[in-house]
Copies of this chain bind each other. A is one copy, B any other.
Amino acid sequence: VADALDELLRGAAANPRVIGLAGGLPCPTLFPRRELTAAFLRALQTRDVPALQYAWPEGFPALREHIAARLARRGARVKADEIIVTSGAQQAITIAAQLVVRRGAAIGVDAETYPSALDAFRSLHLIPTTSPQTRVIYRMPAVSNPGGITMDDSQRRAALAHARFIIEDDAYGDLRFGGEPPVPLLATSRSRVLYVGTFSKTLGPGLRVGFLIVPAALHTRALRRKADDDLQTNSLSQAIVQEYLAHNDFDAFVQRLRRHYRRRAERLMAAVRRHLPAWSFQPPAGGFGLWVSADGRADEAAFLRRSIDAGVSFDPGSRFLTEGVARDQPTTLRLCFSAVPEDRIEEGARRLARAWTRLRSRAPARRARRRSGALR
């Protein structure tokens, strides 16, 4: 099923007439192209061009100093030497999981969570579960995906109380609409938190620059794992991000992003309320998407196909559901407001409502037909 959905989404992404509410992509017009170009040109002029050469597995020292300084401003005191630059947050998550979860063991996750983390855990032969009593848990405390929810104090306490290790995925931490992100769990428990960060949601995912901080006792193994996987994170992107951070006010840039994405989120929420008033959602505290429940249930692939025919795409909810779709659970989906042209958001919701209404009005007939088909 996932492959059929994939095919539909790939087709939709390549079709300029489809309003793209799928994918979780940052807005391409917000990439700081001019500043990144200046950073590239400086990097290429550096003697012996480290941007094009091999580098050590842990990453560029000055980049790690910048990351450490930013974390310190958020209350987490980490030395640059404790940071490993990774090929995006995804690699950091996979390395972290391998360090603390044995094959065949469970890893605690939210009921709705980041699909590529679920995929990676399963491919490593770990068992994602929503059971609260696991030795290791994976969480997004600042801004969750797909919900865009910030963990409250009691949830933070519960996480720290139960688990031996916590993989803290802070991918969207910078993009909390309300302002500064909360203190990371890392600041509270250095010896139990494996912290994952990234520049993907801000400077650009194509750069593939993430980072991982693990408890001191696990550092050597993490670094070896990183080197064995791909030797090192690409030098060019590291050099560019390093030069960018040295010459630009990254925090001011991030504040602009927050305002921009907040405005888009509000626009999408208003459009869903207007065109799909029976659907429900919790307003997100940050991030790129809105996690919504429909007023009833439909075949997911059929709904996606019909929506794409109507000229709009979305991320099917089943992807995010750790335990799969429960019996009689309403259809869920993630609607991304982040990358679509802003003035198309309203029309996207209108098309989605049209597809949903038509599918629902025909659904009983189709169900009957399928049932009779099964009898033949």
* A residues at B contact (CB < 8 Å): 10, 23-26, 28, 31, 33, 36-37, 40-41, 44, 48-56, 86-88, 90-91, 94, 116, 119-120, 123-124, 200, 203-208, 224-225, 227-237, 239-240
User: What are 24 residue pairs bridging A and B, where the CB atoms are less than 8 Å apart in the complex?
Assistant: A31-B53, A33-B49, A36-B44, A37-B40, A37-B44, A40-B40, A49-B206, A52-B206, A53-B205, A87-B87, A87-B208, A90-B228, A90-B230, A91-B230, A94-B229, A116-B231, A123-B225, A123-B228, A124-B228, A205-B235, A206-B235, A207-B236, A234-B234, A236-B240
Tell me the bound Cα distance from A40 to B239 in angstroms.
14
Contact A52 to B25, CB < 8 A, known contacts A207-B234, A207-B236: no
Q: Name the B residues within 8 Å of A25 (CB-CB).
A: 53-54
Tell me the bound Cα distance from A210 to B39 in angstroms.
24
Q: Which 3 A-B pairs have the closest CB atoms?
A: A206-B235, A52-B204, A208-B234
Contact A119 to B54, CB < 8 A, known contacts A28-B48, A37-B41, A41-B37: no
A120-B229, A207-B236 are known contacts; what are 11 more A-B pairs with Cβ within 8 Å?
A28-B53, A33-B44, A52-B206, A53-B204, A54-B206, A90-B229, A119-B227, A206-B235, A207-B235, A234-B234, A237-B237
**A11 → B minimal CB distance (Å):** 12
**A181 → B minimal CB distance (Å):** 22
B231→A88 contact, CB < 8 A: yes
Tell me the bound Cα distance from A37 to B236 in angstroms.
12
Q: Name the B residues within 8 Å of A225 (CB-CB).
A: 123
Tell me the bound Cα distance from A124 to B124 in angstroms.
11
Q: Name the B residues within 8 Å of A235 (CB-CB).
A: 205-208
Q: Name the B residues within 8 Å of A56 (CB-CB).
A: 10
**A97 → B minimal CB distance (Å):** 11
Q: Name the B residues within 8 Å of A49 (CB-CB).
A: 28, 31, 33, 204, 206
Tell me the bound Cα distance from A234 to B234 in angstroms.
8
B26→A228 contact, CB < 8 A: no
Specify which of A23, A54, A91, A239 lies most central, judged by the most chain B CB atoms within 10 Å of its CB: A54
Q: Name the B residues within 8 Å of A237 (CB-CB).
A: 234, 236-237
Q: Name the B residues within 8 Å of A239 (CB-CB).
A: 206
Tell me the bound Cα distance from A87 to B233 in angstroms.
8
A53→B224 contact, CB < 8 A: no
Q: Name the B residues within 8 Å of A37 (CB-CB).
A: 40-41, 44
Contact A116 to B227, CB < 8 A, known contacts A44-B33, A53-B26, A234-B87: yes
Tell me the bound Cα distance from A231 to B90 in angstroms.
7
**A113 → B minimal CB distance (Å):** 15
Tell me the bound Cα distance from A363 to B252 in angstroms.
62
Name which residue of chain B comes closest to A233, CB basis.
B208
Specify which of A87, A116, A120, A207 lies most central, judged by the most chain B CB atoms within 10 Å of its CB: A87
Q: Name the B residues within 8 Å of A86 (CB-CB).
A: 230
Q: Name the B residues within 8 Å of A233 (CB-CB).
A: 208
Q: Name the B residues within 8 Å of A28 (CB-CB).
A: 48-49, 52-53
